[in-house]
Structure 1
Amino acid sequence: MRFSRLLKKASLAGAFFMSAIWLSSAQALCPAPPSLPVLQVQRVVDGDTVRLSDGRSVRMIGLNTPETGKKGQSAQPFAEAAKRRLQALVDASDGQVRLRVGEEPTDHYGRTLANVYGRDGANLEAQLLADGLGYLVAVSPNVALVRCQQAAEKSARQAGRGLWRNSPVQPVEQISTGGFALVTGRVTSVQRNGGGLWIEFGDALVLRIAPRLLGQFDTAALQRLKGQRVEARGWVVDRSRRGSLKSGQPRWMMPITHPAILDTVNK
């Protein structure tokens, strides 16, 4: 993805196993900072979450894997494969990991937000992304490894590994439920007000960039998106359930939390 087009200019400066070339590249691009603590993993919860022996649940930064089956629901495709792969990576690290806690250290569930590394210094999020077992996500301010992780996902996408074997990208018109989605559509309007910058796709979907995040984007480039086809990813919100839907507004909204999750498409 070519998210640099939308970055503020001042900020520019076997099926599920990666090749040795990518492994060495991942360690070079996503190096573990020195002196990170080594912690024991109690169990792997799913493809992007582990529980430590000290009781903390850790949500891995930059990675969103398919949902495992919960409350009687079926697991999403590749959910179990992602969990097994993370378990294998943890096992290969003798059940121990290193953590780099994010600038925003916890989420609204109380989980620790961190980049997770094996004892050898390899970033586990990048390895799962390169295996095609999860999606890159970028939520400011926890974006220290976004370029590295983006490169990992790109390698899987170009090779058609894992969930990229069949494109998971859906047209905005097909959105029918909330939750994580990777979507594409043609922009019909771009507006800015006190609530931020709003990118609409007719009555199908609106993307929102909050005012506090606009400084990370090239807003002039965003204003030129009208008429262009773009790809976006994130968590879709049903505004009709929140009581915030007004007449004439799209029902579905997706917050855009970093330039890495929004891009133009040459089609």
Structure 2
Amino acid sequence: MRPLAAAFAFWLAVAALPAGAAPSWRVVAVVDGDTLVLEDGRQVRLAGIEAPRPPAGAGPGDGRSWPLAEAAATALADLALGRQVSVRGEAITDRHGRLLAHLQRDDGLWLQGALLTAGLARVHTRPDSRGLAAGMLAAEEAARQAGRGLWRSRAYEVRWASEPEELARHRDSFQIVEGRVLHVQKSGGEAYLDFGEDWRTDVTVHLGRAAMRAAAEAGIDPLSFEGRRVRVRGWIGLRNGPVVEVTHPEQIERLEPPAPPPRTVRRAGPPPGRRDADAEGD
């Protein structure tokens, strides 16, 4: 923990809660960079973050090493092993039976904030676990600007929406994508954010009905993204071109003030026909 002391001290200062504010448990084991085990046997998955980890199916005897995964697990062990922790905010149980929660150490240190500040995790919120997103995004941005941890690796760099062929190579992986939205189409309670002139090959962000309701509750109109530079995070799919499914507003960051709409001709044709073409491309 010594090389990360300055970053961790920041979160000690800003994330402290009064002593005795919540029940606490001792951490007895660390599974990986974002999962640990409490003294009562429960596993806790740290909510809102994604630490580096070996690909699915990789085992200790396959001859490959995963230094960033090891670094994240080591950092979490340094932070939490043998320490008392308590839940910060709400907690839920995920489909694997783990507790999904933000954890705070007995001295006030917020584990998610510390890992993000050290560059050993990326923000990865979920529709049912969106709390503290603003603080996490700020910590991630500080680590990225400083080039800490995983932000020194090309494997985790921000991808560009202007390079759809490159992004397509990362299908079925969690990525952070940045670019300017050229067009927004809304129809039937859904919305499409287009980053290129041809949605059949270029990058698209799709907001389904549930995401649109969540955006409305947050006071966000997807049309406000047109002409804006944004950063989107999510799993990369392929439906014609690369697509990111947005399920909640925290997946999209506005990066600059509104810009004049691009001087291009809006495509004719209703989005329902587009959905039919999408289905053909699956």
Aligned residue in 2 for 1:258? 249
Aligned residue in 1 for 2:177? 183
Correspondent of 1:29 among 8, 11, 14? 14
**CA separation of 1:253/1:23 partners in 2, compared to 1, >3 Å: closer, same or farther?**
closer
**CA separation of 1:153/1:251 partners in 2, compared to 1, >3 Å: closer, same or farther?**
closer
Aligned residue in 1 for 2:24? 38
Aligned residue in 1 for 2:142? 155
Task: Say how many residue pairs are matched.
Answer: 239
Query: For 1:148 and 1:45, how far apart are their aligned partners in 2?
Result: 25
Q: Where does structure 2 lack aligned partners over 5 or more consecutive residues? A: 258-282
Q: CA deviation at 1:66?
A: 1.5
SS at match of 2:11: helix
**CA separation of 1:140/1:69 partners in 2, compared to 1, >3 Å: closer, same or farther?**
closer
Aligned residue type for 2:10: S
Q: Percent identity?
A: 32
CA deviation vs aligned residue, 1:56-87 (integer Å, no higher than 9, x gap) = 22111221111234413756662211111001
Query: For 2:22 and 2:253, how far apart are their aligned partners in 1?
Result: 32
Contact 1:45 1:83 in 2 (8 A): yes
Correspondent of 2:44 among 47, 58, 64? 58
Aligned residue type for 1:107: D
1:107 paired to 2:107? no
Aligned residue type for 2:193: I
**CA separation of 1:237/1:45 partners in 2, compared to 1, >3 Å: closer, same or farther?**
farther
Q: TM-score, normalised by structure 2?
A: 0.72
- Largest Rg, 1 or 2: 2
Correspondent of 2:158 among 146, 154, 169? 169
Aligned residue type for 2:203: L
**CA separation of 1:35/1:15 partners in 2, compared to 1, >3 Å: closer, same or farther?**
closer
SS at match of 1:233: strand
SS at match of 1:117: strand
Correspondent of 2:190 among 196, 201, 208? 196
Q: TM-score, normalised by structure 1?
A: 0.75
Contact 1:15 1:162 in 2 (8 A): no
Contact 2:133 2:250 in 1 (8 A): no
| Higher relative contact order structure (alpha carbons within 8 Å, sequence separation ≥ 6) | 1
Q: CA deviation at 1:149?
A: 2.2
Query: For 2:129 and 2:46, how far apart are their aligned partners in 1?
Result: 10
Contact 1:69 1:75 in 2 (8 A): no
Aligned residue in 2 for 1:207? 205
Contact 1:39 1:97 in 2 (8 A): yes
**CA separation of 1:52/1:223 partners in 2, compared to 1, >3 Å: closer, same or farther?**
same
Aligned residue type for 1:57: Q
CA deviation vs aligned residue, 1:146-190 (integer Å, no higher than 9, x gap) = 232233223212221112235611123122211210112332321
Structural mapping, 1:125-136, within 5 Å:
125-136=112-123
Q: CA deviation at 1:213?
A: 1.0
Q: Where does structure 1 lack aligned partners over 5 or more consecutive residues? A: 1-13, 239-244
Q: CA deviation at 1:217?
A: 4.4
Q: CA deviation at 1:131?
A: 0.4
Query: For 1:208 and 1:219, how far apart are their aligned partners in 2?
Result: 15
Query: For 1:232 and 1:16, how far apart are their aligned partners in 2?
Result: 30
Q: CA deviation at 1:107?
A: 2.4
Query: For 1:143 and 1:253, how far apart are their aligned partners in 2?
Result: 18
Query: For 1:57 and 1:100, how far apart are their aligned partners in 2?
Result: 16
Query: For 1:121 and 1:69, how far apart are their aligned partners in 2?
Result: 33
Q: CA deviation at 1:132?
A: 0.7
Q: CA deviation at 1:23?
A: 3.7
Query: For 1:223 and 1:186, how far apart are their aligned partners in 2?
Result: 13
**Please, what is the CA RMSD of the aligned residues?**
3.0
Aligned residue in 1 for 2:133? 146
Contact 1:186 1:227 in 2 (8 A): yes
